[in-house]
Amino acid sequence: MTTTRTRASLSAAAAVLLLGAAACSGEPDKTSPTSGAPTSSGAPSASTSASPGGTTRTQMALTTPPTTVASPKAADTPPSQLFAPDNVFRVDVSKAPKDQDSAAMIKNLQGQITPHWGGVAAFNTHQYNPSFYVVDNSVPKQDVAFYDCQKKGAAPAGLLNGPAMFKQVPVPRNAQPASGTDKALSIYNKDTDQLWEFWVMEPTKGAKPGWRACWGGRIDNVSTAPGYYDQPFGVAASGLAHVGYMISLQEARTRKIEHAMGIGLIATRDASQIWYPANRSDGNSNDPTAIPEGARLRLDPSVDVEKLQLSPIGKAVARAAQKYGFIVVDTSGAVALYAESGQPEKARTGKDPWPEILGGQPNYKVLEGFPWDKVQVVQREYGKPGS
């Protein structure tokens, strides 16, 4: 379910001015909330593959959390490398064959970028992106309450019972979910090798303050996991883990991205068309040229990135796009990439890290000049085990 906002086609700068200064940098991101939460019916974002309360739950293991830990990662491990070494975000697509419909699908993609926001794809640094915390067992565990923001009437199976994804969560004191209506928050416990991600995560008030969330999920034994949630859990509509595909603060600082990047599109192929590694979808288009969630895109490896007129981070994105590519992870209000929220760092230091990282450049210009006409769709299911 994506809460889509209808906006006039304005230049990127004008649009930001009209939208106000909700983000810390004064430059709100250009996309609607992501869509990992189920619809009011309890089904994940128009997905036909699984739903809480539905009959298809082949991947939903209603068991208690494991007591063994596979191999927890160090606190400074890059988020995309928390998962198994061969996780879905680390697949090299530089020599992968193109899909037979690549040209038509890229034309569709260009049609979603060129008419909107001055023809520049968004780089979400301040809204509709994930906050990320690494914790250990010293952080007290607490139950996260179910927030029925979609009027389901009751908590879907698996959140409070069975695997109990919302129970015994090590939420950091004064945690800062990302800004924007998504209020996404990701937590990795390095002592138990577990990852939690929440959608619409917010503090509760009253005699005993705590937390509540509208949707989310937990991955156990993260260090051996492929990078996605069991159906129908997780924040992104595709089921892929936020922290695996986000561009972290450290990656932006060093201009080095070593994983596939998540991309949200305005129009994604209808939810019956799901490509690996996605396991669900909130696809909204019957156009046969619309790109399905889970599809991998890459920048033509023959492009000389150093000759492109791009920002420093734009070039880092381009280099990563040639080797690891993009994965379509969600349907959104603009074509957008997802960067790690600076809210946690700002809470610690009092300073928003993104203005310095971007060198004073507004975030809506980071991807200006990116050669979307040189992007290719990789062959369907590329990298899928056994394919």
Q: Establish if 4 belongs to a structural domain.
A: no
> How do residues 164-180 score in pLDDT, each as one tens digit?
999 999 999 999 999 99
Q: Tokens 């909330």 label which residue? A: 33
Q: For residue 370, is it within any domain?
A: yes
Q: Which residues, including other chains, have CB under 8 Å from residue 269's CB and lie 6 or more apart?
A: 281, 283, 285, 287, 288, 290, 291, 292, 293
Q: 372 in a domain, yes or no?
A: yes
Residue in the block written with tokens 């309890």: 42
Do 243 and 186 touch, CB atoms closer than 8 A?
yes
pLDDT at 70: 53
Average pLDDT of each block of 10 consecutive residues along the chain (387 residues)? 34 32 31 39 29 30 44 77 96 98 98 94 95 96 95 94 97 94 96 97 87 97 97 96 97 97 97 95 96 98 97 98 98 96 95 96 96 98 89
Q: Which residue has the tokens 């004073």?
A: 360
Strand partners, 261: 326
Query: Quick one: tokens of 178?
Result: 């990302």
Residue 116 belongs to some domain of the structure? yes
User: According to the model, what pLDDT value does residue 205 have?
Assistant: 83
Instruction: Report CA-CA distances (Å) from 1 to 87, 113, 199, 356.
Output: 26, 21, 12, 34
In tens, the pLDDT along 98-142 reads 999 999 999 999 999 999 989 999 999 999 999 999 999 999 999
Whether 288 is in a domain gets the answer yes
The pLDDT value recorded for residue 5 is: 32
- Tell me which amino acid residue 64 is: T
Is 188 a member of any domain? yes
Any idea what DSSP says for residue 196?
E
pTM for the structure as a whole? 0.83
Characterise 239 by phi-psi region: left (phi > 0), alpha (psi -120 to 50), beta (else).
left
Torsion of the alpha carbons at 262, 263, 267 and 273, rounded to the nearest 10: -30
Q: What is the CA radius of gyration of the chain?
A: 19
- Asked if the structure places residue 353 within a domain, the reply is yes
* Tally of structural domains, the chain: 1
Q: How far are the Cα atoms of 78, 191, 318 from residue 204, in angstroms, in the given order?
A: 31, 27, 41
Residue with the two structure tokens 């979910």: 177
Q: Is 24 helix (H, G, I), strand (E, B) or coil?
A: coil
Domain region containing 355 = 24-52+63-377
* Alpha helices by DSSP H, the chain: 12-19, 102-113, 242-245, 249-254, 312-323, 343-349, 354-357
Domain-located, residue 385: no
